[in-house]
């Protein structure tokens, strides 16, 4: 009985849904008219839409000022998030973290970007993060030239992007010291009780 129901459901799908979905694909297919449908096509240019959005989903520490203000946003929010991500990878914390959500939002809107004294980072890395974390989205690195603009930044000097998959991974010359027993050496593992 269960087997018959599954089979009947499959027939229903094939009989009712597939012909309606597939009706435009009978005969020769003009793939040039199918961009965005998942059909195989040649190289295509992907452009950012000019429209602004007013909703968000994400970690508050990565939200750009225009998202926090709900003033509308476009793809430049991704370059802000990239800046937060690089900062966090370099320093182990996000740049505008507050003790609670509203404090984080206030910091994103009002606090200037600051870099910790340690660990020491290259001036090129700091300049790139600073350019990505510009509060005005129109002035933010990447907002006018996209990824190509970011790839041209001095931080990436010496990288041949067309051959990056062939490049050997960088070798870390300093080996970190072994952590003491019970100490992971990276994270503060104290847990708060609720």
| Three-state secondary-structure class, residue 53 | strand
Top pLDDT among 171 and 128 is at: 128
Does the CA dihedral 59-64-69-72 come out positive or negative?
Answer: negative
Does residue 121 surpass a pLDDT of 60?
Answer: yes
Closest CA to 69 of 157, 136, 138: 136
Angstrom distance (rounded) from CA 64 to CA 109: 8
Where residue 75 falls among pLDDT bands split at 50, 70, 90? confident
CATH topology of domain 60-162: Transferase(Phosphotransferase); domain 1 (1.10.510)
Average of pLDDT values for 107-129?
A: 94
User: What are 194's two structure tokens?
Assistant: 């609720």
Percent over 70 (pLDDT), the chain: 58
Closest CA to 84 of 68, 184, 31, 72: 68
Cβ atoms of 100 and 61 within 8 Å: the answer is no
Does residue 113 surpass a pLDDT of 60?
Answer: yes
Does residue 187 surpass a pLDDT of 70?
Answer: no
Cβ atoms of 63 and 108 within 8 Å: the answer is yes
Does residue 171 surpass a pLDDT of 60?
Answer: yes
């Amino acid at each position: 009985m269960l087997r018959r129901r599954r089979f009947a459901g499959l027939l229903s799908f094939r009989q009712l849904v597939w012909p309606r979905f597939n009706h435009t694909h009978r005969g020769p297919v003009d793939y040039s008219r199918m961009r965005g449908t998942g059909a195989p096509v040649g190289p295509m240019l992907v452009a950012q839409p000019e429209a602004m959005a007013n909703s968000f989903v994400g970690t508050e520490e990565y939200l750009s000022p225009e998202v926090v203000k709900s003033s509308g946003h476009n793809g430049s929010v991704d370059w802000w998030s990239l800046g937060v991500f690089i900062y966090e990878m370099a320093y182990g914390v996000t740049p505008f973290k507050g003790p609670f959500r509203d404090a984080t939002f206030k910091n994103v809107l009002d606090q200037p970007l600051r870099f910790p004294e340690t660990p020491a980072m290259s001036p090129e890395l700091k300049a790139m993060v600073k350019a990505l974390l510009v509060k005005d989205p129109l002035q933010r690195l990447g907002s006018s030239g996209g990824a190509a603009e970011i790839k041209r930044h001095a931080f990436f000097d010496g990288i041949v992007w067309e051959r990056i998959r062939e490049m050997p991974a960088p070798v870390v010359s300093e080996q970190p010291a072994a952590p003491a027993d019970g100490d992971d050496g990276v994270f503060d593992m104290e847990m708060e009780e609720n």
